[in-house]
Amino acid sequence: MFYTIKELVHQANTFFSGNVAELMLTTETELTGRSREENLTIMSKNLTVMKNSIQKGLNDHKSLSGLTGGDAAKLDRYLKSGKTLAGASVLSAARNAMAVNEFNAKMGLVCATPTAGSAGCLPAVLGLAIEKLALSHEEQLNFLFSAGAFGLVIANNASISGAEGGCQAEVGSAAAMSAAALTLAAGGTPHQASQAICFVIKNMLGLICDPVAGLVEVPCVKRNAMGASYALVAADMALAGIESKIPADEVINAMYQVGSSLPPAFRETAEGGLAATPTGRKLAREFFGE
Say whether the peptide bond before residue 247 is cis (omega within 30 degrees of 0).
no
pLDDT score recorded for residue 181: 99
Q: 218: helix, coil or strand?
A: coil
Residues β-bridged to residue 209:
267
What are 207-258's pLDDT values in tens digits? Answer: 999 999 999 999 999 999 999 999 999 999 999 999 999 999 999 999 999 9
- List domains and CATH numbers for the chain: 5-288 (1.10.4100)
- Distance (Å, whole) CA 235 – CA 18: 17
Which amino acid type is present at position 86? A
Q: 267: helix, coil or strand?
A: strand
Which amino acid type is present at position 79? L
What are 98-121's pLDDT values in tens digits? Answer: 999 999 999 999 999 999 999 999
Per-residue pLDDT, averaged over 179-195, amounts to: 98
CB atoms within 10 A of CB 271: 14
The pTM for the full model equals 0.97
- For residue 60, which of 27, 106, 94, 21 has the smallest C-alpha distance? 106
Instruction: With a cut of 90, say whether residue 289 has pLDDT above it.
Output: no
CB atoms within 10 A of CB 185: 24
What are 8-66's pLDDT values in tens digits? Answer: 999 999 999 999 999 999 999 999 999 999 999 999 999 999 999 999 999 989 999 99
pLDDT score recorded for residue 288: 87
